[in-house]
Amino acid sequence: MTSTVESRSEPAGRGTPSGLAAAARAPGWARYALLVTGLAVALWLPNGLYPAVAVDILCWALFAVAVDLLLGFTGLLSFGHAAFWGVSAYATGLVAIHLGLPFPAAVLAGAFAAAVLAVPIGYLAVRRTGIYFAMVTLAFAQLVYHVANEWRSVTQGENGLQGVPRELFGLDLTDDYYFYYAILPIVLLGLAGAWRIVHSPFGRVLVGIRDNPARARALGYPVHRYKLTVFVLSGFLAGLGGGLFAVSHRFVSLEVLHWTTSGKAVIVVVLGGIGTLWGGVLGAGILVRLEDWLSFSGFEAIGLVTGGIFVAVVLLFRRGIWGTASALARRRWGRRD
């Protein structure tokens, strides 16, 4: 039983190993237009949205891209990525509170902590594939949750870590508007890193493993080691997002490690489009904005809406928003190979 989400969801012979590969074959001007539009939206975002929401979108975008790196490009559904997001949030908070480092250094430390945690979890989890991989990662994340809940001297238990500073060489970043622009370069670096991974020879091997693990092994690629490496990289990226999330909220609660957080990350990816990378960014924007609007209007059953979106996307358009849009665009303008 192999876990090739993408390849089996698409009719055989369509020959799109990934949405991104297809985008890479799109006309050059379209790629640059998309890139410029994306950057323009990123620069404009806190002017059009409540800045705190814009900051959340950036954090969740990193998280979603981390999950998509595994799900879309390696065929591994991690349902326990809250472990990395959350551990980094705690590590970042502790470093920022106790060492008083500038927040980018604290976030980096948090992301490294997440990557270190990803080594043993990934080592054990890549021994299973498909649905088992999802269950195993979910279980390990729950283990981390229980440990954080019990280890009160460090995590403050249910009170959470309070007063995480937004220190950056004495700059005043209390206003979310300015904080957004302070973290934007870090987020863009993370996204560019993910893009680089996917388009490297390493990334092509990952797609090969996703589509045909037996063949990849026969060609001499150490499949487990490739999976473990991308798992750790993904944990690092998720940790980058989680650390920024901790600094932006100035508070870390156990919720960052809860399984609903893992599930939300997967929803964001599926909504945006599995295997599209940028779809996750789009999905993060939509879901975070929607949840903010729902809680602002006093609607309490957010799970009803997110669950409903999930069911609808899985049933009706499995390619997600980005995947559907790029398929439409390709049909409209054709490919120029």
Per CB under 8 A, residues contacting other proteins are: 1-5, 8-9, 77, 124-125, 127-132, 134-136, 138-140, 142-143, 146-147, 150-151, 213-214, 217, 223, 259, 263, 266-267, 270, 300-304, 306-311, 314-315, 318
Burial 95-115 (b: 16+ CB within 10 A, else e): bbbeeebbbbebbbbbbbbbb
Nearer to other proteins, 9 or 200 (CB): 9
Q: Tell me the CA distances in angstroms from 248 to 6, 89, 133, 163, 208, one per residue in order.
A: 34, 10, 32, 11, 38
Nearer to other proteins, 51 or 213 (CB): 213
Q: Is residue 80 a contact partner of residue 255, using CB atoms and an 8 Å limit? A: no
Nearer to other proteins, 40 or 131 (CB): 131
Nearer to other proteins, 153 or 174 (CB): 153
User: Count H helices, E strands: the chain?
Assistant: 16, 2
The CB-of-110 to other proteins minimum distance in angstroms stands at 23
C-alpha angle with apex 188: 52 to 180, nearest 5 degrees? Answer: 20
The CB-of-25 to other proteins minimum distance in angstroms stands at 25
Separation of CA 48 from chain center: 23
The CB-of-130 to other proteins minimum distance in angstroms stands at 7
Q: Which two tokens stand for residue 215?
A: 């063949």
The CB-of-90 to other proteins minimum distance in angstroms stands at 16
The CB-of-264 to other proteins minimum distance in angstroms stands at 10
> Judging by beta carbons within 10 Å of its beta carbon (0-12, 13-18, 19+), is residue 233 exposed, middle or buried?
buried
The CB-of-99 to other proteins minimum distance in angstroms stands at 27
Nearer to other proteins, 213 or 243 (CB): 213
Nearer to other proteins, 158 or 300 (CB): 300
